[in-house]
């Protein structure tokens, strides 16, 4: 779920007051200046860090996958050959532990 960006109304109000005070000191406030002040106060921005700006594909290519491909291939082969031991009770216990963790 994505959370919306919460802008600070206090900061926006201070910016608006500062802009209005500056316009009053110069003695003229045009509609263009008022529109510009409103636009400046209502714009939010986001900046990504270098880690967030790097596309996932490039990051994986640079570092490799987050698991051992060689080990995965060996396990797959052992399963195909019928040499990989499967402990149904251990799998069941693990599933129930995960379920209990979710319920807490």
Residue pLDDT, tens place only, 15-33: 677 777 765 555 544 555 5
Considering the domain architecture, whether residues 61 and 41 belong to the same structural domain is answered as: no
Model confidence band, residue 73 (pLDDT cutoffs 50, 70, 90):
very high
What's the number of domains the chain is made of?
2
Considering the domain architecture, whether residues 74 and 103 belong to the same structural domain is answered as: yes
Domain limits for position 62: 56-104
Burial of 41 from C-beta contacts in 10 A (0-12 / 13-18 / 19+): middle
Please list, in sequence order, all residues whose beta carbon lies within 8 angstroms of the beta carbon of residue 5, skipping any fewer than 6 positions away.
Answer: 44, 46
pTM of the model: 0.32
Considering the domain architecture, whether residues 2 and 29 belong to the same structural domain is answered as: yes
- Residue 39 maps to a domain: yes
- Residue 50 maps to a domain: no
Considering the domain architecture, whether residues 65 and 98 belong to the same structural domain is answered as: yes
pLDDT at 88: 92
Distances (CA, A) of 7 to 2, 44, 46, 57: 15, 8, 12, 32
pLDDT at 1: 44
Considering the domain architecture, whether residues 37 and 61 belong to the same structural domain is answered as: no
Model confidence band, residue 90 (pLDDT cutoffs 50, 70, 90):
very high
Rounded to a whole number of angstroms, the distance between the first and last alpha carbons of the chain is 21
pLDDT averaged over the chain?
74
- Residue 93 maps to a domain: yes
């Amino acid at each position: 779920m994505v959370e919306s960006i919460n802008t600070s109304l206090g900061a926006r109000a201070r910016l608006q007051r500062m802009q209005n005070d500056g316009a009053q000191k110069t003695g003229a406030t045009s509609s263009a200046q008022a529109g510009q002040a409103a636009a400046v106060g209502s714009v939010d921005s986001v900046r990504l860090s270098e880690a967030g700006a790097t596309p996932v594909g490039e990051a994986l290519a640079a570092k490799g996958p987050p698991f051992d491909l060689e080990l995965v291939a060996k396990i797959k082969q052992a399963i195909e050959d019928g040499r990989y031991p499967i402990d149904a009770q251990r799998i069941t216990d693990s599933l129930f532990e995960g379920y209990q963790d979710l319920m807490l």
